[in-house]
Amino acid sequence: MNPTEQNLLFLAQKTDPGFCRIEQLQQSGSYRQYFRIFADEKTIIGVYNQDIKENSAFFTFTNFFLSQNINVPKIITIEETQQYYLLEDLGDKTLFSFLTSHRDNEKNNETVVTYYKKVLQQLPLLQLSGKKGIDFSVCYPRFAFDKQSMLWDLNYFKYYFLKLVNIPFDEQLLEDDFQHFITFLLEADHDYFMFRDFQSRNIMLRNDEPYFIDYQGGRRGALQYDVASLLYDGKADLPPELREELLDYYLEQLSSHISLSSKDFCKYYYGFVLIRILQALGTYGFRGYYEKKSHFLLSIPFAIKNLTCLLPKLEFSSKIPTLIRVIQQITESEFIASCSLPNDMLTVTITSFSYKKGIPHDLTPNGGGFVFDCRALPNPGRFPEYKNVTGKDQIVINYLEDFEEVERFKYLTNQLISQSVDNYLERNFSHLMVNFGCTGGQHRSVYFAEKTAENLKKQYPNVNVVLVHRELR
């Protein structure tokens, strides 16, 4: 038993000596650690979190919600340092787990809709806490979903998703679009409690009623954000027509509490859907590509599917043309798709690149692969007649194939790659990365990437070959 488990079990035994066993629960996207603690006939949840400010927000919000008869877990006790605390155990059944286990059963689909409607009945009560005296001063890390919060989310998306998946963009034009986008979103009324991560994994089902968890990141914000988070929750994968039905239902429920213009609400709604999806992609990129936690990559195809559905609904898209162009490239990227959703086939990703811009990142959990340096080979880029063509053009192909060292390089690299492919297939590996670099990433590297991809497709029809020319824009 480690020190964290010892401290939580000791804390539990101070409330009831019958608690005698502790098991760690699977960690989610946060750095908090959760444990189930057992007595003979009952269980409670133990939590360890070093972030005392985040804990303080959770304690304050929980006590307020309980005073408003909102379904959240009761706090049993808090240890003196406020790093350890005990909660009521709401069980293991989440809205997401129910949804995924009953997705193909028509009768249970009706139950899913019923659960979502119960959630949407409760959501306005959570949100209107902002008008009823909830203490926004404890919000952490930011008191409101304001310009600064939005910039954090958009830059999170830019640096931990866009740059890691090699989507090209003009930094200044994209930054200008971020500013225009934020200005538009801030026009919406934002004097409400915003749950921040209002999605199906944070909704527990107990006695057929929804209970809410993980709201410690809540802050002042707009009504649209939380309903957007719920209905465009990636892996929940709700059908578009059900999303519209549930949005209408939410607006009916909300209008029973406050005076509401559905037209004004919907004017900003899809903008909040967009910023929520971009924030989620930033999280998936950071956790999946950067921290190498591959299960986060499984959510990326769902987020991309949502972006594809969303694009036609963005009436303000003309004001953010660079951001829209970036989103379109994401939805069309074969490279992202190949790195995001593991399957039974081996995927070989072949990339040409310029050494001036660095060696490509391996975005898969495997790590490693090949990096072949083509700079010792004859360079057509030194001659004026090849300046405006690439290694995909026949004139460059003819030039390179006149040299014996080019043919030898191609033969040797193919031999090495084939040896690894054979081994990876035997061992059921899912990804192999192959990179060809040259000075500018236009001629030699492109030629070898093209020829290698062509060879592998002929030699291994059961292998998924993905070809990326990073510097060809």
**For residue 335, is pLDDT > 80?**
no
C-alpha span between 224 and 190 (Å, rounded): 9
Q: Confidence class of residue 297 from pLDDT cuts 50, 70 and 90? A: confident
pLDDT for the residue numbered 102: 76
**Residue range 43-86, pLDDT digits in tens:** 999 999 999 999 999 999 999 999 999 999 999 999 999 999 99
**For residue 411, is pLDDT > 90?**
yes
pLDDT for the residue numbered 94: 95
Q: Which helix (H) or strand (E) holds 115?
A: helix 106-127
Residue 6 vs residue 235, higher pLDDT:
6
Residue 1 vs residue 21, higher pLDDT:
21
Q: Under a CB-based contact definition with an 8 Å cutoff, are residues 155 and 283 in contact?
A: no
C-alpha span between 466 and 351 (Å, rounded): 8
Q: Under a CB-based contact definition with an 8 Å cutoff, are residues 10 and 19 in contact?
A: no
Q: Confidence class of residue 235 from pLDDT cuts 50, 70 and 90? A: confident
Q: Report percent pLDDT > 70 for the chain.
A: 96
pLDDT for the residue numbered 338: 66
Beta bridge partners of 458: none
**For residue 289, is pLDDT > 80?**
no
**For residue 164, is pLDDT > 90?**
no
Beta strands 203-206; 347-354: pairing state:
unpaired
Q: Under a CB-based contact definition with an 8 Å cutoff, are residues 467 and 449 in contact?
A: yes
**Residue range 91-146, pLDDT digits in tens:** 999 999 998 887 765 555 888 999 999 999 999 999 998 889 999 999 999 999 99
Q: What is the mean pLDDT of residues 194-203?
A: 96
Q: Under a CB-based contact definition with an 8 Å cutoff, are residues 103 and 39 in contact?
A: no
Q: What is the mean pLDDT of residues 326-354?
A: 81
C-alpha span between 223 and 195 (Å, rounded): 10
C-alpha span between 58 and 175 (Å, rounded): 33
Classify 469 as helix, strand or coil: strand
| Domains of the chain in sequence order | 3-88 (3.30.200.20), 95-337 (3.90.1200.10), 342-469 (no CATH)
**For residue 430, is pLDDT > 90?**
no
